[in-house]
Amino acid sequence: MSVEPVEEVQRTPLVTTLAAAATYFSVAPGVRLNVRSGPGTGYPIVKSLPEGSRVQIHCQTPGTQVTGPYGTTTIWDNIASGQYVSDAYVNTGSDGYIRQRCS
């Protein structure tokens, strides 16, 4: 019985792979975007993003209807824990959902 040498496979850590696959979307030009604690204009502002910001969208959820540079929508983008921005101000290239719904 002979034994063939086994080729060693280089594995990339999952965290590195996911970070490389992260997609960031531009906020509308010339806009300082309010970030809210929930998906609607009735939620408190937790911070403002400066002009030229880019955001990573973790999930999306329906909320208050907002009109902005990219149309009128009820979609809100979750950009971090407890942080939401209206999709009307984020250039996702779509009028619909591009991420899973927030749970």
pLDDT in tens, 26-50: 999 999 999 999 999 999 999 999 9
Average pLDDT (57-71) is: 98
pLDDT tier at 84, thresholds 50, 70, 90? very high
pLDDT of residue 96: 96
pLDDT tier at 16, thresholds 50, 70, 90? very low
d(CA 58, CA 103): 11
